[in-house]
Amino acid sequence: MPDWIFSCPGRSYISMNLSPNKPMHSISREDFIVCIRFDLPPTKQEVMGINRQLVAMKDVGYRMWVIPPAFDLSQKEIREIAHDGNQLGFPPSRVAMVASDDLPYGLLRMVDVYRENPDLKTRVFRSEPDAVQWLTEERDQQG
């Protein structure tokens, strides 16, 4: 069974890693927000792979990553994820990252610091409603 299921334009996108040895994730479109959710903490390779999938999708300017509590990568891995994301050529975007626990929250703040793309606005949140509000406010201001 393939790890990636990509639907027709205008419909939700779903990606699930079905291997028993890897964390599962999903990518869905919730209104105008592309939401990436993990059941288990992702590895560096999984995050980088998902970014590549997102670049191939259309209309991904508003993204929300929801990270589980046990997320724990090294500073080097965080820097590599940020650098890789900077090289992918995302269109101007707004990305909310959600982590309720302190360690993942701090690691996501590091991703925010290492991002060097002026067209990419990122912010870390403790709750999904706060993240959605920030994404919605930006969209509402644009028109």
> pLDDT digit string (tens) for 63-100?
999 999 988 899 999 999 999 988 888 888 899 999 99
Res 22: pLDDT: 55
pLDDT band at 10 (very low <50, low <70, confident <90, very high): very low
Helices (H) and strands (E) in the chain, counts: 4, 7
Indicate the Cα dihedral angle 70, 133, 124, 139, nearest 10°. Answer: 130
The pLDDT value recorded for residue 18 is 46
Within the chain, strands assigned E span 4-5, 14-15, 25-30, 33-38, 62-66, 93-98, 120-125
For residue 4, what are the β-bridge partners? 15
Q: Does residue 138 surpass a pLDDT of 90?
A: no
Residues 35, 66: Cα–Cα separation, whole Å: 7
Q: How confident is the model at residue 23 (pLDDT cuts 50, 70, 90)?
A: very low
Quick one: tokens of 3? 């790890």
**pLDDT over threshold 80, residue 37:** yes
Higher-pLDDT residue of 14 and 44 is 44
CA–CA distance, 124 with 95 (Å, rounded to integer):
9
pLDDT band at 21; cut points 50, 70, 90: low
Q: Can you list the domains of the chain with their CATH numbers? A: 4-142 (3.30.750.24)
In the structure, what pLDDT confidence band is assigned to residue 2 with cuts at 50, 70 and 90?
A: very low
